[in-house]
Structure 1
Amino acid sequence: MTEWVPVIYGIGLDAAGRCQHYHLETDIAALWCRRCQHYYACYRCHDTLCQHTFVASAPTDLAVMCGACRYRMTVDRYHEGQCPHCHRPFNPRCRLHDKVYFEK
Structure 2
Amino acid sequence: MSQRIVKGVQVDDESRCTHYHSKVDVVALQFACCEEFYGCYQCHQELADHPPKKWSKDERDREAILCGHCKNTMTIAEYLKVHECPSCRHPFNEGCANHYPLYFEM
TM (norm. structure 1) is: 0.91
Aligned residue in 2 for 1:70: 71
Aligned residue in 1 for 2:98: 96
Unpaired runs of 5+ residues, structure 2, are none
C-alpha deviations, 1:50-86, integer Å up to 9, x for none?
A: 1122222231211211011111112232231111111
Aligned residue in 2 for 1:11: 9
C-alpha deviations, 1:12-39, integer Å up to 9, x for none?
A: 1111010000011000000111111111
Aligned AA (2:100): D
- Aligned-partner Cα distance in 1 for 2:33–2:76: 17
Q: Whose helix fraction is larger, Structure 1's or Structure 2's? A: 2
Aligned residue in 1 for 2:31: 33
- Aligned-partner Cα distance in 1 for 2:8–2:75: 21
Residue 9 of structure 1 and its aligned partner are, at CA, apart by 0.7
User: Structure 1 residue aligned with 2:85, among 69, 83, 96?
Assistant: 83
Identity of aligned residues (%): 35
- Aligned-partner Cα distance in 2 for 1:56–1:69: 25
- 8 Å CA contact 1:59, 1:103 repeated in 2: no
Once structures 1 and 2 are overlaid, which stretch shifts more, 60-69 or 71-80?
Answer: 71-80
- Aligned-partner Cα distance in 2 for 1:14–1:83: 18
Moved over 2 A (4+): none
Once structures 1 and 2 are overlaid, which stretch shifts more, 3-12 or 86-95?
Answer: 3-12
Once structures 1 and 2 are overlaid, which stretch shifts more, 49-58 or 11-20?
Answer: 49-58
